[in-house]
Amino acid sequence: MTTPTTPAAALTVQTSDVRHNPAQRDRMMHATAAVEDVLGALQGGTPSNISLSTDQDGTVRVTMTCGAEVVREFATCFGAEPRLISCLFGEGAHWYEADAIVRGVAVKAGHLTSTQPAEATDPCHPCGCPKRFNRHAWGCPTQSDDTLASPTADVTESHGGES
């Protein structure tokens, strides 16, 4: 079985309502304006690749390949709720993503974060981030103050379950 090839991180933008801008050119310009807003707000880096495509239903998508730090900064800048999704891209791979609306456009920032086994996630922790990794580095929205104080702290505390 072949594992799909996925960029290390991607920022995907699509128009949230196709009927709002019926002309494809208008939808493309609307999505591009949202991308400009996102790029203007982020200080963590510049995407290495940007591509535009249109689905059969007319939804415009913009995909930008970028680093993990840009994904975390995106979540902070646009009030996105980061979440960890396990085992999407092959055995043990984890996808970390955040979604937000910018200028009426749905923006998704994502990063392939780990190849650790799914058992490494902490089912008791609200975001499900891997308990064997530092939650500060993962951008966990529910991290404890002691984790913030030490970015290299080993975070394996119990949350009412097995530690």
pLDDT in tens, the chain (163 residues): 444 444 455 566 665 554 455 676 777 777 788 888 888 888 766 666 666 667 777 666 666 656 677 778 888 888 888 777 665 555 566 777 777 777 777 777 777 665 554 444 444 444 444 444 444 444 444 444 333 333 333 333 333 444 3
Closest CA to 141 of 126, 154, 123, 152: 126
In the block, which residue shows the tokens 């951008």?
139
Largest Cα span, the chain:
55
Q: Where are the domains of the chain?
A: 9-117, 121-163
CATH 3.30.70 fits 9-117, yes or no: yes
| Structure tokens that stand for 14 in this block | 């699509």
CA atoms within 13 A on the CB side of 119: 2
- What's the one-letter identity of residue 123? P
